[in-house]
Structure 1
């Protein structure tokens, strides 16, 4: 297979974001990919990007999408722009990688997935937590009976953002209409990993609250009002009948910022991380079963790392996601390992159910085929 030509929308070196921190290092570490172009939001940032990355750079993303040497369009901008950019790329016959969430709401996400269904285009959604070697190994341990019958599972995490101090570049995260929320981002990344390991949620109850209504913008010394909940608690059952709970708060904790337990009839697995955004950093894995009195660190076999393993930090899981996508392409098995837009739509339905449960205080049943 020849190299996959990549064009990244949202890779400004003047205001480095997730594309610069994770996507560019990930792609550079993989032999299957080659960066061919970038697009940013202004002429100044486009010029800086072209100088920094040595590829053509545009302030108009349509020019990047139109390039014949761009096979895969990567969308790493605010969610509000996803629908228009993805729709344009699909219409141009390009494969698309989009950061999660796919759309602002279930309607946009459904429309995007429907557009792709009418084509034979391959897609990739940025749900890379499931690519972490520790999470992939935990999935196999559960399937192999390491913990016996799964009885329950619980996650407690910190969302980093959605706290009392931010900056003007992130004001949209405190507007509930933008849907760049504690629930839609860190919680759903964690739930995607949870469902990957122990199965899907079914009946869901949830409650949320805006506990920090006033946000200080450090760069402008102004205050804004937040309408986005910064605390969320979910209680659910899995398809297996096991009980699940997820609690997330904004900001960080002086205690643990991420802890996930999987408790079974004959053992326990524990995953921990200093970062509550599970997609950013692969968690540590501990386990104990049978006669073990406590959990201990587990050695993860090398085959669970789908990339070269040469990259560390935020780009590592993203590299594993891209590596899985390239492998699926070689094998002709879309969505087999790397999650696609059809998977994203199913997760959006879960997101929608949780949001309705939290808003209305009424339990939601998440059926098959969501």
Structure 2
């Protein structure tokens, strides 16, 4: 059994502008899918967890005993395993983080849930909607706390945009436009070559489009209906390490236009394999003003976001984030601008949710809603018809 977390004696979540107090007990984390030299666990999860005083990394697992030992030595963790079944049954693990390739998510998440653990799984939750629904159903059956890695919701910029809209900065939202680029050029590293195969569920639509649409829908509401198109403009991709050319089956152009439940018009175009262009631009246009959110690429969960605004016909000017948002989790200040920053804010929010019985981080039910949207985009692109989202 996992260590039981007493949620009845914790403090309440503070109001706006007040830093969150620390969680009163340490949460033990086991990470599945750790490499000592590369990977998202090493880049984001481990730095984030190390920065937070209410978390402790207590176990790691990798694809082989040798890799597990090397990861343990690299990150100072003594409990290492080559089999995920061993990690998820450790009694001092409260939260299992799943940071492996998408095709393996369902097996590993299911094992952790069956062992009675809370689970943080990277996005996409599964290869497809059926995968996501199965994991969400198991989590609900187990009554488990879950998190899906849609951590852009925790970015200070997104919280700031929500505040501005709630305060009437743009008036009534009439329309929104989003354009971005994922991967430049026609060369990919071997570790990411599996993303070229559409059936693996890790591609432009699920990752760059998925993360980007998640913040759009989180801030402005869901699509009521939409029309979509997808295309594959560069089907031959070169593997960086070998110069081998392989056939890509995942689309490199995704465009969506639709109506949000609020009545606002939304237009989105995310692309990859292009030579350059706008990294990430999201405009929200209203009756009184405009907000413009920008970044270097269509990965709002990773890249720092800038917010600019204007009223009337003035050109948008950059707006400074309130200190209450950037200092919400003081322990994470040193990670600002790094890929680990928003992951850390998601972990911090999870601890606060456990602390007070709230639900502020996206969970598996939220992941299913996003997978449903992706499925709707696929249906529309395949049929050429407008579909209900």
TM over 0.5: yes
Tell me what 2:161 maps to.
Answer: 138
Select the residue among 373, 379, 382 that pairs with 1:350.
373
Corresponding residue for residue 334 of structure 2: 310
Correspondence for 2:11:
none
Alignment of 1:162-311 (within 5 A): 163-251=185-273, 254-290=276-312, 293-305=314-326, 306-308=328-330, 309-311=333-335
- Cα deviation, 1:12-52, whole Å, max 9, x if unaligned, reads 114x1111111111111111111001111112211111111
In the TM superposition, what are the counterparts of 1:15-164 in structure 2 within 5 Å?
Answer: 16-55=38-77, 56-160=79-183, 163-164=185-186
The TM-score with structure 1 as length reference comes to 0.95
Separation (CA, whole Å) in 1 of partners of 2:157 and 2:323: 10
Cα shift at 1:167: 2.5
Long gaps (5+) in structure 1: none
Secondary structure at 1:22 match in 2: helix
Question: Any idea what SS the aligned residue of 1:118 has?
Answer: helix
Contact 2:293 2:308 in 1 (8 A): yes
Segments of structure 2 that go 5 or more residues without pairing to the other structure are: 1-23
Q: CA RMSD in A?
A: 1.3
Q: Which runs of 4+ in 1 moved over 4 A?
A: none
Give the 3 Å change call, closer, same or farther, for CA 304–249 of structure 1 in structure 2: same
Alignment length (residue pairs): 361
Contact kept, 8 Å, 1:72 with 1:95, in 2: the verdict is yes
**CA apart distance, 1:100:** 0.6
1:304-354 Cα offsets, whole Å, 9 max, x none, are: 234222312101111111111111111112xx2111111111111111111
**In structure 1, how many angstroms separate the alpha carbons of the residues matched to 2:31 and 2:339?**
17
Q: The residue matched to 2:334 in structure 1 has which SS?
A: coil
Contact preservation (8 Å) 2:52, 2:348:
yes
Shift of 1:120: 2.0
Give 1:252 deviation, angstroms: 5.9
Contact kept in structure 2, 1:268 and 1:288, CA below 8 Å: yes
1:177-230 CA-to-partner distances (Å, cap 9, x unmatched) read 111110100111011101111111111111011111101112112111011000
Shift in Å, 1:130: 1.1
Counterpart Cα distance in 1 of 2:276 and 2:229: 23
Asked if the contact 2:230/2:255 (under 8 Å) is kept, the reply is: yes
2: CA distance between counterparts of 1:304 and 1:202? 31
SS at match of 2:31: strand
Q: Secondary structure of the residue that 2:256 maps to in structure 1?
A: strand
Query: Is 1:153–1:243's contact at 8 Å kept on the other side of the alignment?
Result: yes
1:8·1:38 contact (CA, 8 Å) conserved in 2? yes
**CA–CA distance in 2 between the matches of 1:5 and 1:259?**
38
